[in-house]
Structure 1
Amino acid sequence: MVIGDILLPAHVVVGLRCSDRAQLISELSSIASKTVALSQGLLSGRLLERERLGSTGVGDGVAIPHARFEKLAQPFALFARLQQPIDFDAIDGKTVDLVFLLLLPAASSREQLPLLASVARHLRQQAIARELRAAADASTAFQVLTRA
């Protein structure tokens, strides 16, 4: 499974304004809830619960908030480039401006861990991160994210 298998052009946001991690999770959950038919409260609650276990800020300005949901049949992805970087308690201490939300089915799947690792590797490539930060719009960012 690759990013293009789970990310739709409509699920790419460029210039999202958030002041902190909780607000970001709330905003992303609100957007996702319109597609996955799960409540914004359930999504944000589970994502924040996951963040309490340890930050999903993977370094180099990238965060991959993720959580599992019983009523989700397939993975859902949402990418956001923030207008201003925020503190995300990332492993390298750097602020975050590239965020890839992953909502995953609760059922164990061999594809889920490799998918998470693939997203992290992809977004942490300096050339890709640079292109995402320079993308003029969501369409361009989508093309960068889904280019093989």
Structure 2
Amino acid sequence: MDIGELLVRDGVVLKSGASSKRQALHSVASVAAQALDLEEARVFDALLERETLGSTGLGSGVAVPHARLEGIDRVRAVFVRLDTPVAYDAVDDRPVDLMFALFAPPRDGAEHLRALAAVSRALRSSEMREQLRQARTVDAIHALFVRDDTATAA
């Protein structure tokens, strides 16, 4: 699974302000809507609906919100780094500042699950999380995911 290929180039935001989980999800929805040419309200509603099943906060400041959406032909992703971490109901109760959001077609099962597993595995690394927090450009963020995926495939 090539995480770098999932990540939409226009879907990386390095500074996003949010003071709550809801605002953070709004930021993700806004980025995804613009990058994937979707309606923002529909993206936001899908993310909120998924959160009602359980928090997508993985711990260590990371969340992987995800949703299935009509109008997407394959799994796509956006990345948002928040200026200030927000309370997110994560498994470790720590606030979240790194959000890697995945979007899949409604009937896509296996690919969506593989993407979730690959992203979760990559973000489990404390070194990776720190590099994502320090990265200064969209290209640097993209390169981290391409590099990490190549390392795990070898």
Matched, 1:21 2:38: no
| Corresponding residue pairs, total | 148
Identity %: 38
Note the C-alpha offset of 1:136.
2.0
Note the C-alpha offset of 1:53.
1.1
Deviates more, 1:69-78 or 1:99-108: 69-78
**Could you tell me whether the CA contact under 8 Å between 1:18 and 1:24 is conserved in 2?**
yes
What is the TM-score normalised by the length of structure 1? 0.93
Paired residue for 2:103? 103
Note the C-alpha offset of 1:66.
0.3
1: CA distance, partners of 2:28 / 2:125: 23
CA displacement 1:92-123 (0-9 Å, x = unmatched): 11111110011111113322111101101101
> Superposition pairs for residues 45-64 of structure 1, below 5 Å?
45-64=45-64
2: CA distance, partners of 1:132 / 1:28: 16
Note the C-alpha offset of 1:18.
0.9
Matched, 1:72 2:72: yes
Matched, 1:34 2:34: yes
CA displacement 1:40-70 (0-9 Å, x = unmatched): 1111011011111110001111000001113
Deviates more, 1:126-135 or 1:68-77: 68-77
**Could you tell me whether the CA contact under 8 Å between 1:67 and 1:104 is conserved in 2?**
yes
Note the C-alpha offset of 1:35.
3.1
CA displacement 1:16-59 (0-9 Å, x = unmatched): 11111111111221221123232111110110111111100011
What is the TM-score normalised by the length of structure 2? 0.90
Report the secondary structure of 1:27's partner residue: helix
Report the secondary structure of 1:99's partner residue: strand
Q: 1:78 is aligned with what amino acid?
A: V
Note the C-alpha offset of 1:12.
1.4
2: CA distance, partners of 1:66 / 1:142: 19
**Could you tell me whether the CA contact under 8 Å between 1:70 and 1:107 is conserved in 2?**
no
Report the secondary structure of 2:10's partner residue: helix
2: CA distance, partners of 1:126 / 1:120: 12
Report the secondary structure of 1:55's partner residue: coil
Matched, 1:121 2:121: yes
